Structure 1
Amino acid sequence: MKTFIAIVLLGFAHLAAADWFDDLRETGDAEDLYRVLYYMPKGGDLHNHLSGSNFSEWWYEMALAERDRGYRYYTKVRIENCVPYGGNEFGRAPYYLLFRNIAAHEYDALSDCEKREYKRLEELGDEEKAGWMDSIRLDQPYEGRDEFFGTHWTRLNALTNNPWLQAEALYRNMRAFGAEGITYLEPQIAVAGFRDPDGNPIPPGTVADIIRERLAQKDALATGVTVRLQLPILRFLPNAEDILRFTYQFVHDNSDIFVAVNMVGREDNDKGYPLRFLETLRELRRQYGGVRLSIHAGEVDEPNSHVRDTLLLGADRIGHGVNLITDNDTMLLMRHGPYMVEINLISNLLLQYVNDYAEHPFPEYLRTGIPVALSTDDRGMWESTITDEFFVAVTEFSLSWEEVKELSRNSLQYAFVSPQLKQELLDDFADRMSTFERSIGKYGLTRLGPMPETRQFICTRYQLCNQAMQLGRTD
């Protein structure tokens, strides 16, 4: 009899929690809903590009701090017409692109005329500094995927070639995500193409060691965020198969922190079609075990078989999966696992893969049993956070409290970690969520913290504006 009563009371408790959240979502204050979503425990972020996850003011602060290691950075602030007509404006160094960043050794190789086009980062005036920061944000209504894919990384340029800066960026993301209740991150990060202050190559193994050293430091450990890393390849390059061979072996040989290979780059560039890599991956699986695959697929406008073909490659997780909705057979295949779709709501809107959230297939996936989790993709360039992703999901698709918790559990259940670590992360999430729910049940919202600072996306689209001066922010 006591057991029966306990079960009934537990059922009423869950019902009350659901009613409370439904009421808050439908008739409550938007700031209160945002506070709940900010302070609630979360799981992991399984889909984020580290170089796209840094806010503009972080880039500026980190670049200047690298002076202590001998790095000096310059950015292009004017055009003096120093080069002949007919240059390659579609390559990696387009002449007419402002705010492209170069290192001192690149600056020293310029002509006197071209040197006049550049300024040291620390010497930028207020208007130039504001322009520099906006140049790596997708913050204007006329900016979309062409601006994003065509200019953002081209502008960052030398800033992405410093392994110590990259390691510091990883720490800053750990700290910021940890403040939002995240306990696991699986960023896509690079190990090749890095340079010392004089322009000399830094070997990939050394880059990995720099990351290890930063993760082992006291402040990184204090974030409480567990990190495992993916190595991406740019899928449409002519030598992408060779890069895949190197990347796959590197992940295998550095499996203490690297767990997976990803494939990135615009899917509408058909030179990177999924089945191009099938034979290479089958060759690699004959040599190496334990390397997981999480691959971008379905981040495209037209219907195609990319998601199904990517599963054939051996992927366990699909990044984006927007056009999965057009492939009925593959949707049936994915219901109730074992595969998961990494959902990036803000990214898909800003890059115009959906014109409005009413077009987004996320609720269909969620409510037909296709495992999904929310992630941030390139949040620094969107000016958004993981809390923003949850706020969009809840407000646009009327998520229940159980669905909110399911999304966080999925982000841990499908993490590329050992079974033991996965269970530890899930148990920790369950404990934190239980404590949070008890507090809400007893005190309502009174024990929540204040409204957190918000970024530009949530302020512009939902008028939730609590923004500080962003230059000088550190988290």
Structure 2
Amino acid sequence: MFYRCNSRRSASPLFRFLFAAALTLTSLSVFSADMNTWFREFKQNASDQTLYKLLWSLPKGGDLHHHLSGAGFSEWWYDIATRPEQNGGYRYYTKTRLLQCRGYGTNEYGPNPQNLLFRTIQASTYAALNDCEKQEYELLSELDENTKLAWFNSIRLDKAHEGRNEFFERHWQRLNELNNNPHIGAHILLKNMQAFAAEGLQYLETQVNVDRSITPEGELMSPAASLKVYTDMLASEAARKTGVTVRFQYALLRFLPHAEKHLRWMYDFVDQHRDLYVGINMVGREDNDKGHPLRFLPVLRELRRQYPAINLAIHAGEVDEPNQHVKDTLLLGAQRIGHGLNTITDPDTLLLMRHGPYLIEINLISNRLLDYTEDYASHPFPEYLRTNIPVALTTDDRGMWDSTLTDEYYVAVKEFNLSWQELTGLARQSLQHSFLAEDDKQTALNTYEQRLRQFAGALAGDGVSSLPQAAPKRRFICDYQPTLCHQG
């Protein structure tokens, strides 16, 4: 065996020769077969730490299902929000006490809940509060260590009893006005690019909205001014240094009363910014029937009469009960399905998607933590993968899971015994089904194959021990596989 797990043995001369020969073959199938044999034996002998190390350095394609507003780790949010010199001159306060200033039972729910700890507001909003309300808040930068840790935990799923209600109805309302600051968003984007580059990602397709930004004074910022903050960041040396290619989607919150009007606006906006925006995504809880897919069929048909084609990647099938939302979403014109969990309950649609042009964006960790699957064994991912439905692993709201893309890969390998061909096929399909322009897509695929061969060559030479050490593990993976975080 040429790999190194717990021993320091070098590759045998015979295997090195055979492996080097395989790398020179033009047939990808021969190369993959050779690596399949190696990877199968590797999995049988490697420790959890060694497997994770391999997957961390493994070249990865694209992350196609990525909510930027949910992709910041708690410490990232705090660091940027408490540094006015970095965040555009904003200062933030967060609610740390409940004094019932407006009376018990008044406005406990809705967009401005009074009973929600760690709801964060900017200084201009704080200045407009009455004296009682101001006593409920503390300056974010002056929290003591215990309160700061509680703030960190308030925007991630860190307890077993937390699930989708905590996520959908609390996390976003706590972040609140942090998500209205494009400077924070741009820095969260940069930190994602840097973190993704470290674990081998080459393409990121993330959701960025710019029509709700507000200035430090609390005034609405123009979409053009907000977008410039992001484009300036992408043009920065720090962003270019990552080597990660980034494109944006615009996200429509599907169940709002005026969603059709907003969709018309964003269609026009995306059409004017096709160099950066490559598609539109419909997001939001699918168990809120006000956002059902066919609601948007008339307006999409109207818009397709006015604009050249715009790509659609739409959330569908992220529900417990069987329904035909995936089928209806394909009728809307979607090229990619976000989650697609209950596709398996709709045989006609399942058959339609086999060998088809539609990809399902798989979010193993998200689906488990939000209790859409009882356990990983009940997830339909392997059924899709092994019946030739295009799939790719994605991270969804990784900051709130406190996880990485490598964690998704690790769960997939441990739970479903992926082969080398399946593992690398996930990355290929993420690039093949990206919304990159065709020339850029082919370039990305060629780059991936080159990176993969270089990676395999490094393994043939010095084994896994030559790979860089993985970054410190996040909370999710330590809970899922405690042995990964017990380092001697």
TM-score range for the pair, normalised by the shorter chain length: over 0.9
Match of 1:315 in 2: 334
The normalised TM-score by structure 2 is 0.92
Match of 1:55 in 2: 73
SS state at 2:313 partner: strand
Distance in 2, Cα, partners of 1:170 & 1:322: 28
1:167-199 deviation digits (Å, cap 9, x = unpaired) = 111111111111111010000111111111000
1:466 deviates by: 4.2
1:181 counterpart (178, 200, 205)? 200
Q: Is 1:114 equivalent to 2:136 in the alignment?
A: no
1:309-355 deviation digits (Å, cap 9, x = unpaired) = 00000000000000000011111111112000000000000000001
Stretch of structure 1 that moved more, 73-82 or 437-446: 437-446
1:8 deviates by: 11
- The amino acid of 1:61's aligned partner reads D
1:133-192 deviation digits (Å, cap 9, x = unpaired) = 000011100000000001000000010010111111111111111111101000011111
SS state at 2:251 partner: strand
- The amino acid of 1:135's aligned partner reads S
Distance 1:23 1:356, change over 3 A: same
Distance in 2, Cα, partners of 1:436 & 1:254: 36
Distance in 1, Cα, partners of 2:319 & 2:45: 36
Match of 1:256 in 2: 275
2:404 counterpart (379, 385, 389)? 385
- The amino acid of 1:198's aligned partner reads E
Q: Is 1:43 equivalent to 2:65 in the alignment?
A: no
Match of 1:459 in 2: 478
SS state at 1:48 partner: strand
Q: Is 1:295 equivalent to 2:317 in the alignment?
A: no
Contact 2:186 / 2:230 at 8 angstroms: preserved in 1?
yes
Contact 1:25 / 1:395 at 8 angstroms: preserved in 2?
no
Q: Is 1:433 equivalent to 2:467 in the alignment?
A: no
1:417 counterpart (436, 447, 450)? 436
1:29 counterpart (41, 47, 68)? 47
Contact 1:80 / 1:113 at 8 angstroms: preserved in 2?
yes
Distance in 2, Cα, partners of 1:345 & 1:305: 21
Contact 2:55 / 2:406 at 8 angstroms: preserved in 1?
yes
2:395 counterpart (364, 376, 383)? 376
- The amino acid of 2:46's aligned partner reads G
**Counterparts of 1:221-260 in structure 2 under 5 Å?**
221-260=240-279
1:65 deviates by: 1.8
Q: Is 1:398 equivalent to 2:417 in the alignment?
A: yes
The normalised TM-score by structure 1 is 0.95
- The amino acid of 1:286's aligned partner reads R
Q: Is 1:126 equivalent to 2:165 in the alignment?
A: no
Contact 1:451 / 1:466 at 8 angstroms: preserved in 2?
no
Match of 2:426 in 1: 407
1:464 deviates by: 4.4
Distance 1:8 1:142, change over 3 A: same
Distance in 1, Cα, partners of 2:63 & 2:331: 24
- The amino acid of 2:319's aligned partner reads V
Distance 1:10 1:125, change over 3 A: closer
Match of 1:157 in 2: 176
1:419-440 deviation digits (Å, cap 9, x = unpaired) = 1100110000000000111121
Contact 2:48 / 2:484 at 8 angstroms: preserved in 1?
no
SS state at 1:247 partner: helix
Distance 1:420 1:233, change over 3 A: same
Distance 1:8 1:427, change over 3 A: closer
1:13 deviates by: 5.5
1:95 counterpart (87, 91, 114)? 114
Distance in 2, Cα, partners of 1:285 & 1:129: 48
1:450 deviates by: 2.0
1:254-288 deviation digits (Å, cap 9, x = unpaired) = 11101111011100000000000001000000011
Stretch of structure 1 that moved more, 435-444 or 346-355: 435-444
SS state at 2:465 partner: coil
Contact 2:49 / 2:484 at 8 angstroms: preserved in 1?
no
Contact 1:46 / 1:415 at 8 angstroms: preserved in 2?
yes
Q: Which runs of 4+ in 1 moved over 6 A?
A: 6-12
Match of 2:464 in 1: 445
SS state at 1:41 partner: coil
Distance in 1, Cα, partners of 2:239 & 2:428: 24
Identity of aligned residues (%): 53
1:285 counterpart (304, 324, 338)? 304
**Counterparts of 1:354-365 in structure 2 under 5 Å?**
354-365=373-384
1:12 deviates by: 6.8
1:290 deviates by: 3.2
Which structure 2 segments of 5+ residues have no match?
A: 1-20
Match of 2:4 in 1: none
1:465 deviates by: 4.3
Contact 1:454 / 1:467 at 8 angstroms: preserved in 2?
no
SS state at 1:185 partner: strand
**Counterparts of 1:55-94 in structure 2 under 5 Å?**
55-67=73-85, 69-94=88-113
Distance 1:61 1:208, change over 3 A: same
- The amino acid of 1:156's aligned partner reads L
Distance in 2, Cα, partners of 1:263 & 1:407: 23
Match of 1:473 in 2: none
Match of 1:138 in 2: 157
Distance in 1, Cα, partners of 2:470 & 2:271: 43
Residues matched between the structures, number: 465
1:81-135 deviation digits (Å, cap 9, x = unpaired) = 2112332222111111000000101111111111111100111001100000000
Contact 2:251 / 2:281 at 8 angstroms: preserved in 1?
yes
1:211 deviates by: 1.2
